[in-house]
Structure 1
Amino acid sequence: MDKLTKEQRRKNMQAVKATGSKIEIALAKALFASGYRYRKNDKTVFGKPDLTFKKLKIAIFVDSEFWHGKDWEIHKYDHKSNQDFWHQKIERNIQRDKDVNKALEESGWSVLRFWGKDIQKEINLCINKIEEIIKSRNNEFHKDTQRR
């Protein structure tokens, strides 16, 4: 059974943001401070990534552990109430993430996904991974323009 009343649970769920979460903002600010410019929540890119480098075709997603099912097989039964609903919802999110990754990669995009806790604990590692992809995509881009 839920520890909160229905009204309390409803208020908690209403407070969940689709964009502009603390972890998303933290990553964006760290990238900006490192001199990188990006687009936030670009609706013209399939899957509406949290951050995009459109010219380099890099899509970055910031995923919360709860909504995107981190270690899902281990935490699947942590939900005490309304299990059928939560299992379906989170499994749909996991499948949608896979579908979005596949579609973007087939279109030539590099896709990076970071868990919220990884950003909170190891933001520099996340920035380093992004920088590696930016450098490799920049090299590919410059090779292509030199061939023309």
Structure 2
Amino acid sequence: MPVFPLHGTTPLTRPAPAPAARTPRQGERFALPALAESVATARSRVDRRLDHWGLPQETRDTARLVISELVTNAILHTDSHMVTCRLEATPRLDRLRIEVADEGCGLDRRAAPRRPSADAENGRGLMLLDALAARWGVLCPDQNAGCTVWAELRP
């Protein structure tokens, strides 16, 4: 497995077993075509939902940035036709989880995030995600079934 040089990353997590009594959560799920225009749509949907939940502007700004990076990566780095986004917040709104699932062919275990050169125009998305999220990771249950990249924010 590749070594991820970023602080706090959890590259290939497995879902935790469900506790006996789960805390009810609020959430939203939506699918978008894997097109560049969908990044703005995802940002707008996240902003409206978090505003509805009463989350502070700073959290909404961070969540918009995170969803932008995740949707952009799913569109650019997979052959997906659709991406599925999911937002989930705890009842006290002390934790927000953002997920983006693609239809790609799974995680290439040989690929690892690398630090871009100082003059590179892109390649900083995962570094940004690592700086903004309390935790993040990748779920890839089957090499041929796509991946879900998730991030947790603590408002």
* Pair in the same fold by TM > 0.5: no
* Greater Cα radius of gyration, structure 1 or 2: 1
TM-score with structure 1 setting the length: 0.29
Larger helix proportion of the pair: 1
TM-score with structure 2 setting the length: 0.28
